[in-house]
Amino acid sequence: MDTAGLLESIRSGIPAAEVGAPVRASRAGGHSTPRPLRRKWLWPAGMALGLIVAFLGGRYLTPAAASPTLLLREVQAVHSRAVDHFYQVQFAPDPRFTNPDNPMDRPTDNTLWTRGDRFWCDCALGDHRLAVGRDESGRLWCAPSRSKGILLPSRESEISPEFRLICAINSMSIPRLVDDVLDGFELHAEVSSRGTAAETSVIWARLKPGQTHRLISSAVMEVDANSDIVQRLVLWIVKDGHPHGTVTYTLVESTVHDDQQYRLSAHIDADAEIVDQSPAPETSEPPTNQAQ
């Protein structure tokens, strides 16, 4: 809609003498007001201006359009609920900074279930598949096979950098991601018109000058404007200060599952070997009393 042209055409139909006419002095020395606008111009002009205000107010002045921060907070609240979201996860490495001979740098196509900070992913590691997840206690685990499970160290600094990257890429915790994005990224959002067949909010996030992030340099998030559920997310990730590739998450379905699927026990056999990689707690020997 060319609103400027419409306003000009409305104005052009009103006689110049009747628009902004100055106050005229009467012959008697007093003042008189200009002749009132003709009614035939008042009604269409008022209606057209009302339509423009309604259109602009509904399209551009919605809270989500005006504030990407507010929109992200709504997304964060929705993804913190007890609902499970199933995503297809595709990693496309950056050929400039990746090694095709390294299984960690090859394209992958994984499946991810996530709820809040919990997740479990059926992911590829070279030619092998393994399950990786985080349970309700926040403990990371992996199952390289049905016969073996591994409880990873509770402190991420004690996990190898390569496997830490696998967990970071495949966990995709929306609540955590929103906090990171709000903290150090420049945001821009566009919201489709309410009432259309496809209502989608698109949020762009790019690192602010001088800011760094351990994993992400920029992101694009497509959100269903009615449910505030992330339909598609693209992350540009970094490794050792260089571009590493893009990870694309595409929503397949949303449903409710039992908590069990986020636990290691759901992905290994009952008699499987379980290795706990948490360091043993330090113990100190009580002082020995020696005879003087």
pLDDT digits (tens, 9 = 90+) for 8-67: 544 454 444 444 444 344 444 444 444 444 444 444 444 444 444 443 443 333 444 448
Residue 264's pLDDT band (cuts 50, 70, 90) = very high
pLDDT given at position 99? 80
Sign of CA dihedral 47, 53, 57, 59: positive
116 with 254, same domain?
yes
What does the alpha-carbon distance between residue 121 and residue 113 come to, in Å, rounded to a whole number?
Answer: 6
- Residue 202 resides in a domain: yes
Q: pLDDT for 101-153, tens place per residue?
A: 777 778 889 999 999 889 999 988 777 889 999 999 989 999 999 999 999 98
In a domain, 154, yes or no: yes
Task: Please check whether residue 290 lies inside any domain of the structure.
Answer: no
Give buried/exposed letters for 4-41 (b at 16+ CB in 10 A, else e): eeeeeebeeeeeeeeeeeeeeeeeeeeeeeeeeeeeeb
Whether residue 35 is contained in a domain is answered as no
pLDDT range class, residue 176, cuts 50, 70, 90: confident
Quote the longest CA-to-CA distance of the chain. 125
pLDDT at 282 over 90: no
| Same domain membership, residue 153 and residue 49 | no
- The pTM (predicted TM-score) of the whole model is 0.69
Residue 5 clears pLDDT 90, i.e. is over it: no
Q: Examine the domain organization and report whether 97 and 221 are in the same domain.
A: yes
Token pair recorded at residue 239: 């490794």
239: helix, strand or coil:
strand
Q: Identify the CATH number of the domain in which residue 73 sits.
A: 2.50.20.10
75 and 5 assigned to the same domain: no
Specify if 21 maps to a domain: no
Q: Are residues 96 and 56 in the same domain?
A: no
pLDDT at 170: 79
Percent of the chain at pLDDT exceeding 70: 70
Q: What is the pLDDT of residue 161?
A: 77
- 164 and 72 co-located in one domain: yes
Residues 259 and 172 in one domain: yes
Confidence of residue 286 (pLDDT cuts 50, 70, 90): low
57 and 121 share one domain: no
Same domain as 255, residue 157: yes
Residue 32: inside a domain, yes or no? Answer: no
Q: Are residues 49 and 165 in the same domain?
A: no
- Identify whether residues 116 and 4 lie together within a single domain: no
Res. 287 pLDDT band, cuts 50 70 90: low
Co-location of 77 and 91 in the same domain: yes
Contacts 24+ apart (CB under 8 A), 157-161: 158/277, 158/279
Domain containing 263 equals 65-276
- Summarised one tens digit per residue, pLDDT across range 59-100 is 333 444 448 999 999 999 999 999 999 999 999 988 888 787
**Helix, strand, or coil (residue 262):** helix
The domain tally of the chain equals 2
Q: Is 20 inside any structural domain?
A: no
Q: Please give the structure tokens belonging to residue 123.
A: 């992911």
Residue type, 125: L
H-type helices in the chain, by residue range?
Answer: 3-12, 39-59, 63-66, 68-78, 161-171, 174-184
288 occurs within a structural domain: no
Distances in whole angstroms, Cα of residue 124 to Cα of each of 10, 84, 103, 149, 286: 64, 22, 9, 16, 48
Helices 174-184 + 68-78 axis angle, to 10: 160
